[in-house]
Structure 1
């Protein structure tokens, strides 16, 4: 199931985007896709806070009350992992779109082929990520875990590894940080930091010289000697996010 949402304060633009998505669905019957639409940013934010997010969001940038880039930033602060496709009349906000990891930035009037190409890229990536599942023996039992849901891991008591997920869950795993990284590294976004941390670059919001802040709002300290290497890895990730 691929859940897609449209947020635009112009009903004609919502109808146009929906028509594009329905045409895409007809051309790709192998995907099960649902479509929701919102005519106001706060309506979308309220829905996500109460019901959870979407896999893909088509966001207009110029909307009454709030820019689409600000909506995306709010969603990231909620821990939302949606793929954003920005649709706008101007290129002025491309840098802001980059800062919230936008998958695509389309300028109106956009061609149907532009939407299709963006959806192909995103859905294929989601499909690949969802297939990478590991089985972990945790302190509470056996757990199936999608690697894309792991934000970071850290060494805890008695050398257990604590796995932090995007859903806000924590689980203890009895293995070394290196052994856990061997599993996590099936997803190319994971890097080691020092001897006790495994980080998903996709969820890092900010890096300072002794603190890492994640999209979930969590922060951790890390060895200062790892700063330069981590900064280089993070900048490389920001520049080349294609799989």
Structure 2
């Protein structure tokens, strides 16, 4: 699922972009979820890194697209931003907010689809390094390397990260499968540990991000082997 936001105050162009996305979805066999906003302040308010791609008009009444992009970048360094404009001299300034590209009005489908291809290519290259979790009121996207460990708390999951702790939903089993290929190991039924942040062992506890996490007796051998493989040395 590709999550796309359209930020456009002109209804004619907004409808055109929706139709282009729907056409692209059918031609490329992609699943695209579309959310629309009529101004920059709409998307900035309560932004939680919930989109993969943002199609942003530059000239809007309340908050222009460049200002909105600057605010979005404070919370989300990874979302792909494409400016929609009839004034290319403004779009070229998009390097300041790491915009991928710009589409000139009037918009042709060929021009649009070429930009969208590039956006999806960039998005998919980054996907392997990020995880999106459901939290109360929305979603948050993390760089996987920022996660120290994940703790099971009843029906919830507590993500311990460099940016703080976040309570999310889901199951430990699903996350274990999702993160197995990126150096996470379940050393206890209640903990999924990022081996990147294991500082050492203290008896039956792994020291992770300054905290001691119990490794269960049945999991210890497998955990030590996985840690040895990650460190590239033999641990006895």
Partner of residue 37, structure 1: 36
Aligned residues of 1:3 and 1:34 also touching (Cα < 8 A): yes
Return the TM-score normalized by structure 1: 0.54
* Shift in CA distance, 133/92, structure 1 to aligned 2, threshold 3 Å: closer
| Matched length | 153
Q: Cα RMSD over matched residues?
A: 3.3
* Corresponding position: 1:173 with 2:172: no
Which has the larger displacement, 38-47 or 63-72? 38-47
Shift of 1:167: 9.4
Shift of 1:106: 1.4
SS at match of 1:93: helix
Partner of residue 183, structure 1: none
Q: How many angstroms apart in 1 are the aligned matches of 2:8 and 2:114?
A: 21
5+ unaligned residues in a row in structure 1: which ranges?
Answer: 135-145, 154-161, 177-243
Partner of residue 75, structure 1: 72
Aligned residues of 2:3 and 2:32 also touching (Cα < 8 A): yes
* Shift in CA distance, 24/165, structure 1 to aligned 2, threshold 3 Å: farther
Shift of 1:150: 4.4
Partner of residue 25, structure 2: 25
Aligned residues of 1:149 and 1:167 also touching (Cα < 8 A): no
Return the TM-score normalized by structure 2: 0.55
Aligned residues of 2:59 and 2:65 also touching (Cα < 8 A): yes
Q: How many angstroms apart in 2 are the aligned matches of 1:46 and 1:133?
A: 23
Larger Rg: 2
Shift of 1:74: 0.6
* Shift in CA distance, 41/133, structure 1 to aligned 2, threshold 3 Å: closer
Q: How many angstroms apart in 1 are the aligned matches of 2:122 and 2:34?
A: 19
Partner of residue 95, structure 2: 98
**Runs ≥4 in structure 1, deviation > 3 angstroms?**
131-134, 146-153, 162-169
Shift of 1:80: 5.2
Aligned residues of 1:7 and 1:58 also touching (Cα < 8 A): yes
